[in-house]
Chains A and B, each alone.
Chain A
């Protein structure tokens, strides 16, 4: 089956689903208060576009800061933990515990500590993104082929050279994979804080629309943020593909 055919089938399926949904809604089989027809959602988008786009921009700005922090801290921490065996052995249970713990449980505390501004969103988003990146990069550095390290050292490479010329190039694919994972986690964290604490941003917009029983606007805003996050992840995937082809 060709790629074009697959895409066509995907489009047809989604169109059919939307059409069926429209017909079901028009026929009055579902309560439009809870499940508005797609046409009503499109109309709702016009009402909510300004608020939703503003909220989305706000959310993305916070996510960007949290993301940069998670990547920098996660990759740096991962390189240290991955290459210093003694430290890794000692700290591993703590990292595993922090990674596995549902972050939502500390959310109220973070909001108490950092108040109702942009800070809690950035802190919580960073915590969300940091641990998966840390764990993946640690594993990648630990698993760098020891033969490469031995060879580099026997040719007289200094410690610095070992990091820059052997370890860093070897872990690039894992770092990219962890960055792809991290962005969704950061975004998730920021949205949860906005929803929980009612601080500006897309999470707040979605929560407010739900509380106001404005289903068409809510669906439109949900679709907007979903499409935006899918686009970001697909963009990162494409970048990933290109980089790995370039590496050969």
Chain B
């Protein structure tokens, strides 16, 4: 049964690619980019013939992601624990944060662009903003779901605050916390790429926009494949870290 499922999946994938090739050639190869045109474009991209300065753009995008996510983690953990551990602050400000989370984040982007300009800063700010919310809300949810009895018992046995935190709270909320950190990473990556595509002079997103603007569609597809590679590799890295964290809680 599993083998049949697998072979069906492979068949759908190959069939889809074949259909795409035939349909794209028949309709409009420039618009629909058949795979036979996308592959050479990908080769040209990776051998740096189509975009010789690709490495510097890619590096900039990765740097933006790292800074945006780093700031989102710091601020998310800070605000999350600040509001989670203090009852009054939590009850007053957590609903405001949750309401702001209901705003489609892209409405903030023009203001960020106005304030931070067209360079890296506005992309970092947007990636930060997108990553910050899920991390903060996950910390809040995690603190709330920690069994208060565990905390009371640990206190009764004389656990100091930092011991209480590391030995009781962190393991209890780790699952939720790691989930929030992963969502935050995915959103920080998307934020940076969205920012670059909506307006920038450098970075992977600006190349995508450039290829699109000049209707260099095979190059556009190749750049999208590369961007997906970046997204997937950050996700794989996150999965590895998640496994480690789970092993740590299991101990």
A residues touching B (Cβ–Cβ < 8 Å)?
1, 6, 9-10, 13-14, 34-35, 86, 89-91, 93-94, 100-102, 104-109, 111-113, 184, 187-188, 191-192, 195-196, 202-203, 206-207, 209-210, 213, 215, 218-219, 222, 225-226, 229-230, 233-234
CB distance from A127 to the nearest CB of B (A): 14
Check B91–A6 contact: CB distance below 8 A.
Answer: yes
Most buried by B among A14, A107, A113: A107
Which of A113, A196, A218, A222 meets B197, CB within 8 Å?
A: A196
Q: Is A230 a contact partner of B106 (Cβ separation < 8 A)?
A: no
Looking at chain A's contact residues, the main secondary structure is helix
Contact with A along B1-45 (1 / 0, CB 8 A): 000010011001000000000000000000100000000000000
Q: Which residues of B contact A111 (CB under 8 A)?
A: 212
Interface size on B, residues (CB 8 A): 45
Residues of B within 8 A of A93 (CB): 9
State whether the Cβ of B156 lies closer than 8 Å to any Cβ in chain A.
no
Q: Is the CB of B59 closer than 8 A to any CB of chain A? A: no
How many Å lie between the Cα of A218 and that of B112 in the bound state? 11
Q: Which residue of A lies closest to B13 (CB)?
A: A94
User: Are B193 and A210 in contact (CB-based, < 8 A)?
Assistant: no
- Asked if A108 and B190 sit within 8 Å, CB to CB, the answer is no
Closest A residue by C-beta to B215: A112
B110 touches A188 (CB 8 A): no
CB distance from B37 to the nearest CB of A (A): 14
Minimum C-beta distance from B40 to chain A (A): 18
Is the CB–CB distance between B104 and A187 below 8 Å? Answer: yes
7 contacts between A and B (CB under 8 A): A10-B93, A13-B96, A86-B5, A191-B107, A209-B110, A219-B111, A222-B107
A219 to B235, CA, bound (A): 35
Contact of B106 among A86, A112, A188, A234 (CB under 8 A): A188
Check: B115 CB closer than 8 A to any chain A CB.
Answer: yes
Q: Are A1 and B9 in contact (CB under 8 A)?
A: no
Residues B110 and A108 in contact, CB atoms below 8 Å apart? no
Known pairs A93-B9, A210-B114, A219-B111; A108 contacts B208 (CB<8 A): yes
